[in-house]
Structures are given as structure tokens and as C-alpha cells.
């Protein structure tokens, strides 16, 4: 049995869910997966930071209901966040990065990942920023340092869309994809179909926790643009940056547009897409698209995500699943750790 020490960067919904899973599932993981996880450090902008080489009890972290700077009450704790120190100095094997995504440059998460890799630590992240802006550089650095950089949850939360396409569709000759990659915008469009105005639908999404106080990244397509970059570069071998992907959101769609779509037995969806062109280049786009109801993406409702892979040998293969959620996203981080463990186990067998 292997024990992995982990440091949590950010202690919001996702990494709190990771702690919840550790508190309840470690024995199961030991039996079924061959490893246990031990939290040795946490850093959070609101709560501060704490290091404990012997480990922090996950149940205590969850039950304490800390106020601002609350980690300062713990042995080895400080009321101030210190992400760089925690990443570089904590006795962690794996850095679990789950901080806010900056859609303009991916910072500070890009630096978080780089510090970890430079320190010889594996990284698992749900953050789109480091992958969209710096995946090539970070993967090369990870290979040079002999560690893993994993990011399955950066596109569709717990739905394993990247690994599925990499493995199950290997050899199917992927030509492109199109998908509903933002649950908030999909929810808003659905509510507009029921008669709500755009502003009313956005407010409802905020009240339900689907949308942030500033919903711009969701409704204007910026979130989807990052995900298009990730999938295009990862699966189509492109070298796109966010600036290379044209982007249009849903804020200009009117109630009349929605009504006319229904009359023509169609639905508006915000679609992120990329395709391989005849000359081998790859182009990406984000825009509202009118889909006939027999399109598999047209039937995707609420905050669900879906992506249709366009292949030469299989035709269109559509994957649908949760694109958000605390536990679902925490599962993506677990799947990354499972991948790290599998690679370590394989390397140990080769060495033997």
C-alpha cells in the first residue's frame, strides 16, 4: 500500500470535497486502489495556511468552520495564505491545485503549477488557466523533472472526456469536436426557452449557485474558449492560444430568437468547437448555434455538459456528463491521482 502526502492549494468547494472524500473513502481506496491520501498542508486566501508533516485530520478541517484567518489557530498555521511557501516547502508528493481561474493569463495558477513541478512534486488541477495558457511548457517541465502534470477536470469536471478520447478513441482518427462546455450558459438558455428574459435567467442561475456574481466568463463564452483550447491542443495536436479562438456569447440572443428556434423545431446552444482543416491546421470557435432537435447536443439540458467527437472511423461519438459540482470535480482530481499511482506502479514493475 502506498501513502501519498498531498497539499491543497485553495480550500473552497472543490478541495473541501477532496477532504470529505479522504475522510470517508481512504479505507476503500486502500482496498480497491492501493493507496491512501494524507493532507500535510493547506493554503487558502481566506483561511490562511498550515503545514503539518504528520498530517492534518480531514474531519477536523471540515468540522472546524474556520472564520477568516482561521488556520492561524492550528499548530503550524498562519492567518495569512502563503501558496508559494506551501507548494515549495510542504512535505507533499502531490500538489492539488483548485484555485480561481483567471481567464486572461491563467495566473496565479500557472505559477502554482510551475513551482510544484520545479520542486519535484506531481500536480493535479481542475484549473483551466494553466492548461490553456501553459500546458506545453508545464508538460515539458514535468517530463524533465520526472513528475506528472494531470488536469482531467479542467474541461468537463468529473466526466473523463480527455482520457476517454485519448484512450477509447485512439485510432479512430479524430477530426474535430463540438460541445456544450459550460453548464451556466446552457441553464440560462433553457430558462429563456421557458419564457424568462436573459437577465432573469442569469439571476436565477446565480441564486442556484450555477453562476458567479459576475457571470461574464460564462455567458460571453470566455470559459468555453479556454476549454476549446485545451481540447484542441490535447486531442488534435494544435498549438492554439485563447486569442486564436473566435468567441461570441449568448447575451445578444433575444426572446424572439428563442421563440423562432422552437417554431423550427430547433434549439440554441452555446457551442465550443474545433476542427482539423484540409491543410492540417486547426481552428477553434465559440458561438451560439441553432441545432435541430435530432442533434445529440440539442437534448442536453440544465447544467449538464456534452461533447461530440467527430471521427473518421466511428462517425460522431457523443459523451454526456456533469460539467460542474463539488464532488464531481473532486472525483476528477482523484482520477488524476489514480493515473499518477498507475504510472508509479508501472515504473516500479519495469525497474524490478
How close are the terminal C-alpha atoms of the chain, in Å?
17
Q: What share of the chain is helix, strand, coil (3-state, %, to 5)?
A: 45, 25, 35
Does 349 score more than 80 pLDDT? no
- What is the per-residue pLDDT for 64? 85
Our answer to whether residue 349 is catalytic in this structure is no
Provide the residue count of the chain: 352
- Active-site residue identified among 25, 88, 196, 227: 227
- Classify 10 in phi/psi space as left (phi over 0), alpha (psi -120 to 50) or beta: left
Q: How confident is the model at residue 352 (pLDDT cuts 50, 70, 90)?
A: low
Q: Which of 169, 190, 318, 288 lies closest to 236 in space, CA to CA?
A: 169
Work out the number of other CB atoms within 10 angstroms of the CB of residue 69. Answer: 17
Q: Is 157 left (phi over 0), alpha (psi -120 to 50) or beta?
A: left
- pTM > 0.85: yes
- Please give the pLDDT value at position 28: 97
| Residue (of 286, 41, 336) closest to 185 by Cα position | 286
pLDDT at 175: 97
Residue 264 in this model has a pLDDT that exceeds 70: yes
- Cα separations in angstroms, 229 against 55, 126, 216: 37, 15, 19
What is the number of helices (H) and of strands (E) in the chain?
A: 13, 13
- What are the CA-CA distances from residue 13 to residues 16, 248, 291 (Å)? 5, 29, 34
Percent of the chain past pLDDT 90, that is, above it, reads 90
User: What pLDDT does residue 275 have?
Assistant: 98
Q: Which CATH superfamily is domain 2-157+327-351 in?
A: NAD(P)-binding Rossmann-like Domain (3.40.50.720)
- pLDDT mean across residues, the chain: 95
CA distance 281 to 341: 35
pLDDT-above-70 percentage for the chain: 99
- pLDDT of 33 > 80? The answer is yes
- If one counts every other C-beta atom within 10 angstroms of the C-beta of residue 2, the result is 14
CA distance 56 to 169: 40
pLDDT of residue 303: 85
The residue extents of the domains of the chain are 2-157+327-351, 161-323
φ/ψ of 97, rounded to 5, equals -100, 115
pLDDT higher than 90, residue 65: no
- Measured in degrees and rounded to the nearest 5, phi and psi for residue 329 equal -75, -35
Find the angle CA(70)-CA(121)-CA(118) to the nearest 5 degrees: 105
Domains 2-157+327-351 and 161-323 share a fold: no
The answer to whether 317 touches 297, Cβ cutoff 8 Å, is: no
What is 161-323's CATH number, 1.20.58.100, 3.40.50.1980, 1.10.1040.10, 3.30.360.10?
A: 3.30.360.10
**DSSP 3-state of 87:** helix
Long-range residue pairs from 50-55, CB within 8 A, at least 24 positions apart, any chain: 50/74, 50/76, 50/77, 50/78, 51/76, 51/77, 51/86, 51/89, 51/90, 51/91, 52/76, 53/91, 55/5
Residue pair 15/96 in contact by the 8 Å Cβ criterion: yes
**pLDDT at position 229, please?**
98
Amino acid at each position: 500500500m502506498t501513502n501519498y502526502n498531498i497539499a491543497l492549494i485553495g480550500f473552497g468547494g472543490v478541495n473541501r470535497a477532496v477532504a470529505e472524500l479522504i475522510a470517508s473513502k481512504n479505507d476503500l481506496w486502500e482496498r480497491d486502489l492501493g493507496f491512501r491520501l494524507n493532507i500535510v498542508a493547506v493554503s487558502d486566501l481566506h483561511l490562511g495556511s498550515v503545514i503539518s508533516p504528520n498530517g492534518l485530520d480531514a474531519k477536523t478541517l471540515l468540522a472546524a468552520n474556520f472564520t477568516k484567518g482561521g488556520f492561524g489557530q492550528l499548530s503550524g498555521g498562519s492567518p495569512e495564505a502563503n501558496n508559494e511557501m506551501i507548494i515549495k516547502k510542504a512535505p507533499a508528493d502531490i500538489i492539488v491545485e483548485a484555485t480561481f481561474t483567471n481567464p486572461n493569463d491563467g495566473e496565479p495558477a500557472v505559477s502554482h503549477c510551475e513551482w510544484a513541478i520545479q520542486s519535484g512534486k506531481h500536480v493535479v488541477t481542475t484549473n483551466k488557466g494553466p492548461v490553456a495558457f501553459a500546458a506545453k511548457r508545464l508538460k515539458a517541465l514535468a517530463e524533465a523533472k520526472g513528475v506528472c502534470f494531470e488536469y482531467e477536470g479542467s474541461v468537463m469536471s468529473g466526466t473523463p472526456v480527455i482520457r476517454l478520447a485519448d484512450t477509447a478513441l485512439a485510432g479512430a482518427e479524430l477530426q474535430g469536436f463540438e460541445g456544450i462546455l459550460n453548464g451556466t450558459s446552457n441553464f440560462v438558455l433553457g430558462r429563456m426557452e421557458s419564457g424568462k428574459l436573459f437577465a432573469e435567467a442569469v439571476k436565477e442561475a446565480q441564486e442556484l449557485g450555477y453562476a458567479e456574481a459576475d457571470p461574464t466568463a460564462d455567458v460571453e463564452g470566455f470559459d468555453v474558449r479556454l476549454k476549446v483550447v485545451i481540447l484542441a491542443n490535447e486531442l488534435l495536436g494544435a498549438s492554439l492560444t485563447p486569442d486564436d479562438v473566435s468567441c461570441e456569447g449568448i447575451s445578444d440572443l433575444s426572446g424572439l430568437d428563442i421563440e423562432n428556434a422552437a417554431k423550427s423545431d430547433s434549439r440554441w446552444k452555446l457551442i465550443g468547437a474545433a476542427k482539423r482543416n484540409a491543410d492540417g491546421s486547426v481552428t477553434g470557435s465559440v458561438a451560439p448555434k441553432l441545432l435541430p432537435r435530432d442533434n445529440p447536443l440539442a437534448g442536453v439540458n440544465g447544467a449538464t455538459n456534452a461533447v461530440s467527437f467527430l471521427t473518421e472511423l466511428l462517425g460522431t461519438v457523443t459523451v454526456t456528463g456533469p460539467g460542474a459540482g463539488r464532488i464531481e470535480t473532486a472525483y476528477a482530481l482523484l482520477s488524476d491521482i489514480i493515473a499518477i499511482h498507475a504510472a508509479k506502479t508501472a515504473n516500479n514493475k519495469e525497474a524490478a
